[in-house]
Amino acid sequence: MKSILEYTPSATRLIDFFCKNLITKNDKIESDKKYDIIFIGSNQLNDCNDLFKYSTEETTYYIDSVTESSGFYGVYENALNFKKRFNLKSDKVVLICDVISNNDFEKLKDFKVFNSNYFPFYAYLTFTRDSFSLFNGNQFELIQNLPFNSNRQKLFVSRNGRFNEFRAYTLYQLFKHNLMDDGIISAFFYGCDKTIHKDFSDVIYFNQYMEKEYWDDVSSKLPISIDRFFLGWDDNSNANISGNLHHTDVFSGGYIDLVTENIHYSSTPFEYNTITEKSLKPFLLYQLPIFISYKNNLSCLRDMGFDLFDDILDNSYDLIEDPKERIDVALSNLVKLKSIDLSEYFEKNKIRFINNKNLVLKLAFSNGVNDIFKLINFMNI
């Protein structure tokens, strides 16, 4: 029976539930022991200086990018650098990923890839040690018993935590189109000293697309508190972000979920689309979804069986190459629907929303669990 080391915290979250007795956790490493399999979180590949104290030439390294909410490109580059840095054989490095688009991973010869487009559903909703897991606290009961409501307080909801330029651009457009009062929005942008301004070094959209005078006015309002709801990490000790699927009681109060995903565009011509828990929430909370994400992400979700409400939403943005234009067209849905009473539409189409929610749970607890067993068989433990 093979021994497994969780070298970095939470790196074995995908298999913990089924392989608990085989795994040595990173806080209980035996310094004189060698391990057959070592798990490393994809965001911690640069912190592996003493890795070989616990390995042999036959050790296989599994890099988990699924539970780190990572896009594929950066993870691939980090894994490649990791392999080169330690001069590892290609068959001894395995990247576990959750690409939802159809891609030929056989062309990636630098290491092995184990992919499942159902891993995002499994990772965030089932047995993993994650605050989004339905088995964290009372969340399964919460989701199971969440009533379908055709009369909601706001047009849309939108969660924005970690800063990136397209979230800032999205917020800018919400201000510009006078949509702020129609939404329940978190926009703390943690990690940026609570200040975003037009010269922020990481922002590529500001100077290209935003009128200076307008953005100067908007930036003075950040960070913002809307409807007395403020979501933050840094020094806002009263913000409890764990459990309850991150404030389901607040964010189920809108007809639309404006999802600003972690990644909105790629710097390569290849399409390796990924999603995080953010893209699952509109389906779990019976909402119309609008995604600020990769091109063709809606096509991937549609292929999985999700109803994306093409009869009321203009989802043509999914095919638009230019990232800025894709956001503009996506947000035009909010402008159009602002003047429409959606309660009747929701009541008439109740079963469609319920079907979406049930599909999320199926993909997590059936398809996702099935692929976890495939991964365990792949590991040959």
Tell me, what's the pLDDT at 108?
Answer: 82
Predicted confidence (pLDDT) at residue 189 exceeds the cutoff of 70: no
Q: How are strands ordered across the β-sheet holding 288-292? A: 183-190, 154-162, 254-260, 288-292
Using one digit for the tens of pLDDT, what is the confidence trace for 26-65?
A: 888 887 899 999 999 998 898 888 888 999 999 999 999 9
Predicted confidence (pLDDT) at residue 66 exceeds the cutoff of 60: yes
Tell me, what's the pLDDT at 223?
Answer: 59
CA–CA distances in Å: residue 87 to residues 52, 60, 75, 84, 196: 12, 13, 18, 5, 41
Tell me, what's the pLDDT at 352?
Answer: 98
Using one digit for the tens of pLDDT, what is the confidence trace for 274-295?
A: 999 999 999 999 999 999 998 9
Residue 110 contacts residue 90 (beta carbons within 8 Å): yes
C-alpha dihedral sign at 182, 185, 189, 194: positive
H helices within 243-322, ranges in order?
Answer: 244-251, 281-284, 297-304
- Residue 250's pLDDT band (cuts 50, 70, 90): confident
Position with higher pLDDT, 376 vs 130: 376
How many other CB atoms are found less than 10 A from the CB of residue 44?
17
89 Cβ contact partners less than 8 Å away, ≥ 6 residues apart: none
Residue 30 contacts residue 24 (beta carbons within 8 Å): yes
pTM passes above 0.85: yes
- Residue 241's pLDDT band (cuts 50, 70, 90): very low
- Tokens representing 277? 């828990």
What is the pLDDT of the chain when averaged over all its residues?
84
Stretch 214-220: mean pLDDT: 67
Using one digit for the tens of pLDDT, what is the confidence trace for 80-90?
A: 999 999 999 99
Predicted confidence (pLDDT) at residue 186 exceeds the cutoff of 80: no
Stretch 163-178: mean pLDDT: 83
The one-letter code for the residue type at 128 is T
Predicted confidence (pLDDT) at residue 195 exceeds the cutoff of 50: no
Using one digit for the tens of pLDDT, what is the confidence trace for 131-148?
A: 778 887 778 888 888 999
Predicted confidence (pLDDT) at residue 369 exceeds the cutoff of 60: yes
Tell me, what's the pLDDT at 268?
Answer: 60
Lowest mean pLDDT: which of 117-126, 161-170, 207-216?
A: 207-216
Backbone angles phi, psi at 192, to 5 degrees: -120, 30
- Residue 328's pLDDT band (cuts 50, 70, 90): very high
Lowest mean pLDDT: which of 156-160, 309-313, 343-347, 361-365?
A: 156-160
Predicted confidence (pLDDT) at residue 266 exceeds the cutoff of 80: no
Stretch 159-168: mean pLDDT: 76
Position with higher pLDDT, 182 vs 248: 182
Alpha-carbon Rg for the chain, nearest whole angstrom, is 22
Backbone angles phi, psi at 57, to 5 degrees: -65, -20
State how far the Cα of 326 lies from the Cα of 260, in Å rounded to an integer.
12
C-alpha dihedral sign at 232, 235, 240, 243: positive
Predicted confidence (pLDDT) at residue 218 exceeds the cutoff of 90: no
Position with higher pLDDT, 266 vs 338: 338
> For the chain, which domains are there?
4-115 (no CATH), 139-363 (3.40.50)
Tell me, what's the pLDDT at 240?
Answer: 43
**What's the CA angle centered on 172, arms 199 and 277, to 5 degrees?**
105
Is residue 291 within a helix (H) or strand (E), and if so which, with residue range? strand 288-292
Is residue 290 within a helix (H) or strand (E), and if so which, with residue range? strand 288-292
Tell me, what's the pLDDT at 184?
Answer: 83
**CB burial readout 6-25, b (16+ within 10 A) else e:** bbbebbbbbbbbebeebbbe
The one-letter code for the residue type at 237 is S
Stretch 63-88: mean pLDDT: 87
